[in-house]
Structure 1
Amino acid sequence: MQEHAERYLSSGGKEGHIYTVSPPGYGELQVPSLLLTTTGRKSGEKYIFPLFYGTAGKGWFVVASKGGAPEHPGWYRNLLADPMAEVRVGTETAQVRARTATGAEREALWQQALTFWPPYADYAKKTTREIPVVVLDPV
């Protein structure tokens, strides 16, 4: 993950925005990725996370799957404490406000997420929590 973020940053977003990976049980996938910068809920420091994403209106969305782990990923907990963040999508950067999608919006975005990263369905089966879908609205 750190190598991916470093390549993304060092190239100015020209590399790393399409991530090629072969998850177990799937063929090679080329997945769009962005860099999400959050503020640490305890430390107040900035943290960068490369995440797969889809588009939602004029913004983006990401999935807080943590591979189906029982707890939410740290970046999602950071956003719950402070929803203001920054994204780098390719060569573009934007300030965003994060919000957790619910209801029909969540379901539509979840279905979209399964098209670019089918393993999300496997992750959902591994956990009892509802995996959050997080919309990143530009501000």
Structure 2
Amino acid sequence: MSDGQETKAPWLPPRWFIRLAWSVHRGLYRVTGSRVGLWRPREHRWGTLRLTTTGRRTGQQRSVILAYFEDGPNLVGVAMNGWGEGAPAWWLNLRAHPDASADLVDGRRLVRGRVATDDERTRLWPRWREADKNFDAHAARRSSETTVVVLEPRSEGDSPTS
């Protein structure tokens, strides 16, 4: 800050706790037969979806639960790794195999993932900030820019891209 004061980064739980929370969330989703663990976004609040991608090395299906909001027909997420360094595996998989599926509270959607364009990122980033007052401070912990990911709808007949 220009007045000589330091801004303190918002608190984050330890990495082991973040990973444990993810595991518990996925476990609840599985144990309850998909009845618990997903919710719709609301005004100034993100929702959660279950994204299934194709592994870039194994070719096997890999699933993760992500925060998202809707932007018209698109679903929008951020490729963060618990605010740690590096890209999350789901994003590396999606870059290698953009066709995926998203399970939402109201059913499954076939999607194709891509990086938000510069104009989209400029427009979409503030929506994340509205949902989390510490969003920019958490993103600043990373040495690289956090990728905004757009999941566009696709139909069953669309040919896969790679």
User: Displacement, 1:123?
Assistant: 2.4
SS of alignment partner, residue 126 of structure 1: coil
For normalisation by structure 1, the TM-score amounts to 0.82
Query: Unaligned regions of 5+ residues in structure 1, if any?
Result: 20-29
Equivalent residues in 2 for 1:63-74, closer than 5 Å = 63-74=78-89
User: Displacement, 1:63?
Assistant: 0.5
Residue in 1 aligned with 2:25? Answer: 4
User: Displacement, 1:10?
Assistant: 4.9
Q: Which has the larger radius of gyration?
A: 2
Cα deviation code 1:45-96 (max 9, x no counterpart):
1111111101122020110121332211111100110000110111310110
Query: Unaligned regions of 5+ residues in structure 2, if any?
Result: 1-21, 155-162
For normalisation by structure 2, the TM-score amounts to 0.71
Structure possessing the higher relative contact order (Cα contacts under 8 Å, 6 or more residues apart): 1
Structure 2 counterpart of 1:101, one-letter code: A
- Taking the aligned partners of 1:10 and 1:113, their CA distance within structure 2 comes to 30
Residue in 2 aligned with 1:78? Answer: 93
CA RMSD of aligned residues (A): 2.2
- Taking the aligned partners of 2:30 and 2:75, their CA distance within structure 1 comes to 19
Aligned pair partner of 1:48 in 55, 58, 63 = 63
Structure 1 counterpart of 2:24, one-letter code: E
The answer to whether structure 1 residue 138 and structure 2 residue 153 are counterparts is yes
- Sequence identity (%): 32
Give the length in aligned residue pairs: 130
SS of alignment partner, residue 34 of structure 1: strand
User: Does the 8 Å contact 2:39/2:104 carry over to 1?
Assistant: no
Structure 1 counterpart of 2:117, one-letter code: T
